[in-house]
Structure 1
Amino acid sequence: MFYVNDTYYSHQDLDEQFKVFDQLDYLKECDRHRIAVCHEDAFILLALYFYIKKKGGSVAPIHAKHPLGAAIRTAEHTKSHYLIHHDIESPIQLKKEGDDHSGSLIQLSSGTTGEPKCIERSWASIDRELENYNVKLSINMVTTSIVACPVNHSYGLISGVLAAMKRGSVPVIITNPNPKYIVKKLKEYPVHILYAAPTLLYTLSRLLPIEERFYAVMTSGTLLPDAWFRLLQKKSQRVLQQYGCSEAGCVSVNANVSEANAIGKVLSHLDVTSGQGKENPEEIVIKIDKQTIQTKDLGYFDEQGTLHFLERIDEMINVAGLNVYPHEVENIIRSYKGIQDTVVFKKRDDYAGERVCALYSSDEEIDPINLRQWCQHNLAPYQVPVEWVRVKKVDRMANGKVSRKKLGGVYA
């Protein structure tokens, strides 16, 4: 079935764990309940997922690092009846009334642009996604999925683990965060596809010996900065990228990326509209069955039908009527010698409406005047940040995302 680090779990192991679950009344009756799971053991988390799905119940995975108070708040937000917090035999009952017969996977959106939304997806919709995902992925069963991202999130769970099992492969789930350990596992499986967040891929690319390369890597969650993307291309035989949203799951897959913002061909069970050509970008809108999803992402299709992502619409900066895309400015700042990381965000401006601001970390202290001059040589005047803030480290989520909206408030 699958590995967790160095331990293999078989169908028999899963059946034995199901027998344990059968002895617990709240799980035996999970077809009527919504159960939130916060558990550090990836095998237990996946076993609960398979068990609850088989029973037709609903499960809400929660990140294992959540302390009890935060886990309870998240579970209540998902309207769960029970919370498993690292102990399957001592669940916390959150509510008694209202049976739930929806049979779904419940997840929260990232919350980078506001309050996280509770998203419910039926088991049937996930099965359909898996079928179409593997077609677009074009990876055979001998390629081992190395899943170095949390399996409580759809990227690790659905795209990493379930898609591999669907095509008859045995995924390897990595919960040991040590980059050297991950590199060791990649060497054990030379024909691999590594699922990880952009920040981890960048770290591993720098750690990999000069003469070695990844077989294939998958990135998702946020666009790779140009410098990171070029390094990853150099260190990989094949770079793949996928784009999705909480409501629809994976939307598109690029099976061989040549541009950092090229997010691929749309999965065939979805209908997606956006701009036609780079000069005419529009919001990416997804239609699935009778549901229309306004992503608030700006993008376009090229002549080959490949979808491209430009920016979050609400993160674009309007300087006196001229649009500034933060990713474009960040790529220029990162190209300055000594810059480790940067995030560009907006603040209100009495004259221009909004102004461009930059947060950055660097190896050594860099005079903002030098950074401003560098940007003036490489960007249009309205794109050049007018405010600069140096920090020890740019705080990012596990998937590499950062809330530009919050930064605008923190550094106001």
Structure 2
Amino acid sequence: MFFVNDQYYTVVDVEKQHARFEEMEILQNVHQKRIAVCLPDAFEWLSLCLYMQKKGGSVVPINPATPKEAALRFANATSSHVLLFESLESPIELSSKENEKEGVLVQMSSGTTGEPKCIERSWDSIEEELESYVANWPMSNDTTSIVACPVTHSYGLISGVLSCLKRGAEPIVITNMNPKYVIKKVVKHPTHILYGAPALIHTVVQLLPKGQRLHAVMTSGTVIPASWLSSLHQVADRVLQQYGCSEAGCVALHPNVMSPEDMGYALSHVNISAGKDKNHLAEIVIRTSLQDIYTKDLGYLKEDGTLCYVSRMDDTINVAGLNVYPQEVENVLMAEPRIEEAVVYKKSDAYAGERVCVQFVSNETIDEMELREWCKNRLSPYQVPVEFVQVKEIAKLPNGKVSRKLLGGVPV
């Protein structure tokens, strides 16, 4: 049915777990309960998720690295009745009130702002997404999904694991995120698609043995830098990208990405509107059968229907009335051979309204004037960063994303 690292679990193994759940007192009348789950054993978590889906219960996945106090806050914030922390044997009861809502998968989303937001998705809406995702799947059905991202989040859980099971294949769930271990898996399964975040994929590319290739790679979560995408194309037969939001899951899929901004074509269960071209951007709006979702992302649609993402609306930098989009500046900086990572953000400016700032990572000290000159030769004057800060590591949120607001000193 699926692998977790090197261990293979069959349908019988999952059914045995489900029989175990049937006997657990805390999981009686599960359709009336909301269960928060923070388990280090990915097999137990995935089995429980499938069980809750089948029984119509509500489940709140929590990243297994979360400490107990934080997991309790998370569980209480989502109105959970029970927290399963570290073990199935020691449930923590939180509420006796019956859940009057239909069964849902609960996700906490912070986007790029850092503000937690509780998102509830019915199992029916997830099934609709899965049917659309599989119907638009551009690879052969026997392609092995290697899921090297958290299966407590929708990208790894729904797109990575559940969609693979839906099309009758057996996913490999990786909890050992050592890039060398990931490489070992892709080598062992030559007809693969590797699901991961851009940072992990980039590290895998750097460590890939000479002559070894990746069959296919799926990226999502944050926009992959242009220089990283170029390196990836040199070793991957195919690069795919998907775009979505916590409220609707994956809504667009690109089967062969050549530009970082190309998010893909709308899946059949949604309609997407955005700007008419690169010079006329607008907020990306996703329309489902249940709701209109205003994403606060700026983008546009190409003539062939490709959705292109440019920036978060909140991240756009207004320099004396002229808009600067961080990704464009980051791509220029990342093209400098010594720079490994760069994030552009804004700060208030008494004269220009806002100014462009950047944090960057490099293995060697780089003089600010060199970078300023590099940017002046490749960007318009108003796009050139005013402030360059070299750091050992760029701070990220628990979900692995960067908060440009926090880097700019804005409390969230």
Contact 1:84-1:92 at 8 Å conserved across structures? yes
Could you tell me which amino acid in structure 1 is paired with residue 170 of structure 2? V
* Equivalent position SS for 1:156: helix
Alignment match, 2:4: 4
Alignment match, 1:338: 338
Residues 111 and 257 (structure 1 numbering): CA distance in 2 closer, same or farther, change over 3 Å?
Answer: closer
Alignment match, 2:63: 63
The CA deviation string for residues 341-366 of structure 1, in whole angstroms up to 9 with x for no partner, is 11110001111110001111111111
Alignment match, 2:319: 319
Residues 230 and 399 (structure 1 numbering): CA distance in 2 closer, same or farther, change over 3 Å?
Answer: farther
Alignment match, 2:367: 367
5+ residue gaps, structure 2:
none
Could you tell me which amino acid in structure 1 is paired with residue 13 of structure 2? D
Alignment match, 2:48: 48
* Equivalent position SS for 2:293: strand
The CA deviation string for residues 17-68 of structure 1, in whole angstroms up to 9 with x for no partner, is 1121122111122111001100111100001101111111000100000000
Residues in 2 aligned to 1:101 and 1:247: alpha-carbon distance in whole angstroms:
17
Q: What is the TM-score of this pair, normalised by structure 2?
A: 0.97
Q: Which residues of 2 match residues 350-389 of structure 1 at below 5 A?
A: 350-389=350-389
Deviation at 1:140, TM superposition (A): 2.1
Residues 203 and 136 (structure 1 numbering): CA distance in 2 closer, same or farther, change over 3 Å?
Answer: same
Residues in 1 aligned to 2:259 and 2:365: alpha-carbon distance in whole angstroms:
32
Contact 1:396-1:402 at 8 Å conserved across structures? yes
Matched, 1:187 2:192: no
Residues in 2 aligned to 1:400 and 1:199: alpha-carbon distance in whole angstroms:
9
* Equivalent position SS for 2:136: helix
Q: Which moved more, 1:391-400 or 1:20-29?
A: 391-400
* Equivalent position SS for 1:277: coil
Residues 231 and 327 (structure 1 numbering): CA distance in 2 closer, same or farther, change over 3 Å?
Answer: same
Deviation at 1:111, TM superposition (A): 4.3
Matched, 1:21 2:16: no
Residues in 2 aligned to 1:10 and 1:308: alpha-carbon distance in whole angstroms:
40
Deviation at 1:401, TM superposition (A): 2.1
Residues in 2 aligned to 1:192 and 1:256: alpha-carbon distance in whole angstroms:
15
Residues in 2 aligned to 1:205 and 1:345: alpha-carbon distance in whole angstroms:
27
Residues in 2 aligned to 1:75 and 1:11: alpha-carbon distance in whole angstroms:
30
Cα RMSD of the aligned pairs, angstroms, is 1.3
Residues in 2 aligned to 1:199 and 1:83: alpha-carbon distance in whole angstroms:
31
Could you tell me which amino acid in structure 1 is paired with residue 232 of structure 2? L
Residues 146 and 397 (structure 1 numbering): CA distance in 2 closer, same or farther, change over 3 Å?
Answer: farther
Deviation at 1:399, TM superposition (A): 6.0
Residues in 2 aligned to 1:178 and 1:264: alpha-carbon distance in whole angstroms:
29
Residues in 1 aligned to 2:394 and 2:114: alpha-carbon distance in whole angstroms:
19
Q: Which moved more, 1:396-405 or 1:326-335?
A: 396-405
Residues in 2 aligned to 1:159 and 1:222: alpha-carbon distance in whole angstroms:
15
Alignment match, 1:259: 259
Query: Percent same amino acid among aligned pairs?
Result: 54
Could you tell me which amino acid in structure 2 is paired with residue 64 of structure 1? P
5+ residue gaps, structure 1:
none
Contact 1:222-1:399 at 8 Å conserved across structures? no
Could you tell me which amino acid in structure 2 is paired with residue 295 of structure 1? T
* Equivalent position SS for 2:227: helix
Residues in 1 aligned to 2:386 and 2:22: alpha-carbon distance in whole angstroms:
62
Residues in 1 aligned to 2:40 and 2:255: alpha-carbon distance in whole angstroms:
32
Residues in 2 aligned to 1:389 and 1:27: alpha-carbon distance in whole angstroms:
52
The CA deviation string for residues 213-247 of structure 1, in whole angstroms up to 9 with x for no partner, is 10000000011101000011111000000000000
The CA deviation string for residues 159-204 of structure 1, in whole angstroms up to 9 with x for no partner, is 0001011111011111111111111111111000000110000000
Residues 247 and 259 (structure 1 numbering): CA distance in 2 closer, same or farther, change over 3 Å?
Answer: same
Give the number of equivalent residue pairs.
Answer: 411
Could you tell me which amino acid in structure 1 is paired with residue 51 of structure 2? Y
* Equivalent position SS for 1:311: strand
Alignment match, 1:82: 82
Deviation at 1:141, TM superposition (A): 2.1
Alignment match, 1:232: 232
Could you tell me which amino acid in structure 2 is paired with residue 370 of structure 1? E
Residues 111 and 141 (structure 1 numbering): CA distance in 2 closer, same or farther, change over 3 Å?
Answer: closer
* Equivalent position SS for 1:257: coil
Residues in 1 aligned to 2:36 and 2:100: alpha-carbon distance in whole angstroms:
13
Matched, 1:298 2:298: yes
Could you tell me which amino acid in structure 1 is paired with residue 249 of structure 2? G
Q: What is the TM-score of this pair, normalised by structure 1?
A: 0.97
Contact 2:22-2:28 at 8 Å conserved across structures? yes
Alignment match, 2:173: 173
Contact 2:114-2:397 at 8 Å conserved across structures? no
Contact 1:244-1:252 at 8 Å conserved across structures? yes
Alignment match, 2:199: 199
Deviation at 1:114, TM superposition (A): 3.9
Residues in 1 aligned to 2:101 and 2:19: alpha-carbon distance in whole angstroms:
23
Contact 2:130-2:158 at 8 Å conserved across structures? yes
Contact 2:4-2:172 at 8 Å conserved across structures? yes
Deviation at 1:337, TM superposition (A): 2.9
* Equivalent position SS for 1:394: coil
Alignment match, 1:153: 153
Could you tell me which amino acid in structure 2 is paired with residue 119 of structure 1? I
Residues in 2 aligned to 1:160 and 1:399: alpha-carbon distance in whole angstroms:
17
Deviation at 1:394, TM superposition (A): 1.4
Q: Which moved more, 1:398-407 or 1:218-227?
A: 398-407
Q: Which moved more, 1:208-217 or 1:193-202?
A: 208-217
Residues in 2 aligned to 1:210 and 1:331: alpha-carbon distance in whole angstroms:
26
Q: Which moved more, 1:85-94 or 1:246-255?
A: 85-94
Could you tell me which amino acid in structure 2 is paired with residue 394 of structure 1? I
